[in-house]
């Protein structure tokens, strides 16, 4: 084959740590459970909803009902990546003794290559953790190390520490007054 171009030095074939972000979170969750003596647990679950803020169009169904007269087709939408797999998760803390309470830390989104990973933080956490880099509540981590460092910053932030302290107090209340837990289960089951 005649060589007509040279890609040497332009592509990186080195092996890098591509541990799935959800596995990194599971490791963090194990540490949280250990550090809190099993009082606080965490979950990372697949998520199918929107993870970014968006604007609803209240007139969309009206346009569909009336049959829009013209539709603009953007050919750019059919070029580039095709059939891209996207994984979305929610990461939250919970108290096993009181299942009704959970605190969602963030949403996580990544493609088939695992990185970069997009993290959509709860605003209070973002205000504290991302203030130094002047970012809003959405941040991208290009690799496992950056993602793990971000998770550690999140979990050790004053905001999350105060939430975990509140969860420990809720756990104490549920242990001392277990009827409150039964009453809340009964009322939540009745509302279903």
Pairing of strands 41-46, 86-95: antiparallel
The pLDDT value recorded for residue 191 is 47
Q: Please give the Cα distance from 30 to 41 (Å, whole number).
A: 8
Residue pair 118/110 in contact (Cβ under 8 Å)? The answer is yes
Read off the pLDDT of residues 110-168 as tens digits, 9 standing for 90 and up: 999 999 999 999 999 999 998 877 678 999 999 999 999 999 999 999 999 999 999 99
Mean pLDDT along residues 56-81: 66
For the four alpha carbons of 50, 48, 147 and 13, in that order, the dihedral sign comes to negative
Instruction: Round the average pLDDT of the chain to a whole number and report it.
Output: 86
For the four alpha carbons of 105, 109, 114 and 115, in that order, the dihedral sign comes to negative
The pLDDT value recorded for residue 68 is 59
* Location of structure tokens 């990194």: 24
Q: What share of the chain is helix, strand, coil (3-state, %, to 5)?
A: 40, 20, 40
Give the list of residues 6+ apart from residue 130 with CB closer than 8 angstroms, or none: 121, 136, 137, 139
Three-state SS for 15? Answer: coil
Domain regions of the chain by residue span: 18-47+84-176
Asked if pLDDT for residue 192 goes beyond 50, the answer is no
pLDDT band at 109 (very low <50, low <70, confident <90, very high): very high
The pLDDT value recorded for residue 52 is 85
């Amino acid at each position: 084959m005649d060589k007509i171009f040279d890609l040497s030095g332009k592509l990186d074939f080195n092996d890098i740590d591509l541990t799935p972000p959800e596995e990194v979170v599971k490791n963090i969750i194990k540490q949280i459970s250990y550090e809190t003596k099993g009082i606080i647990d965490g979950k990372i679950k697949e998520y199918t909803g929107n993870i970014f803020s968006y604007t609803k169009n209240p007139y969309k169904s009206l346009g569909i009902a009336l049959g829009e007269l013209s539709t603009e087709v953007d050919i750019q939408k059919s070029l580039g990546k095709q059939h891209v797999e996207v994984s979305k998760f929610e990461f939250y803390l919970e108290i096993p003794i009181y299942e009704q309470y959970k605190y969602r830390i963030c949403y996580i989104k990544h493609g088939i290559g695992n990185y970069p990973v997009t993290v959509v933080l709860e605003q209070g956490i973002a205000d504290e953790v991302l203030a130094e880099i002047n970012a809003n509540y959405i941040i991208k981590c290009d690799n496992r190390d950056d993602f793990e460092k971000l998770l550690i910053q999140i979990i050790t932030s004053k905001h999350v520490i105060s939430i975990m302290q509140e969860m420990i107090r809720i756990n104490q209340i549920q242990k001392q007054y277990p009827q409150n837990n039964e009453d809340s289960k009964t009322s939540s089951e009745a509302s279903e």
